[in-house]
Amino acid sequence: MGSKNRILLAILSSLILHKLRNIFQDEELYVTKAKLKKIEMKHPSECSFLYHGNFQKIIDNTIGTCSYKYEDTIINFVSIVDDSIYLFSISTSNYHVYLGTFFKSDKRKILKQCNENINFLSESKRKAFEEFI
């Protein structure tokens, strides 16, 4: 758990920290209690990843960044877990690193909105994405 209003979700992977140098001030990813309740209401099927350290699986299977909705202080990520695609964002505007959004997507939506502008974390992640699609 975190303190007061935040809950520790996961530790950012070294691949994410290496690819996005000097952006994150902390390697621990938190979610606020208010954001957790919003995600629970909007996307109840994805909530299992937000508890008991299960979000680490999403972080570890992140393939790259995507400019799904562009904002200066938010970075969007694409992750493939258990034959499903997840989009999540991380806010960099605070001292701590916070989860912005988290939802399950489908292949068609990813191809339409992110395919041309996915910045893959590595070549092996690119190959994994191409095999998935």
- For the chain, domain boundaries: 6-132
- With contact defined as beta carbons under 8 Å apart, do 101 and 110 qualify? no
Q: What is the pLDDT of residues 46-96, one digit of tens each?
A: 888 888 888 999 999 999 888 766 567 788 899 999 889 999 989 877 777
d(CA 51, CA 67): 27
Gap between the terminal Cα atoms of the chain: 36
Res 70: pLDDT: 58
What is the per-residue pLDDT across 24-33, written as a single tens digit (0 to 9) for each?
878 899 999 9
Q: How many residues does the chain have?
A: 133
Phi/psi class of residue 100: alpha, beta or left (left: φ > 0; alpha: ψ in -120 to 50)? alpha
Please say whether the beta carbons of 80 and 62 come within 8 A.
Answer: no
State both tokens at 90.
């991380």
Do the beta carbons of residue 74 and residue 63 sit within 8 Å? Answer: no
The pTM assigned to this predicted structure is 0.85
Kindly state the DSSP code that residue 22 receives in the 8-state scheme. Answer: T
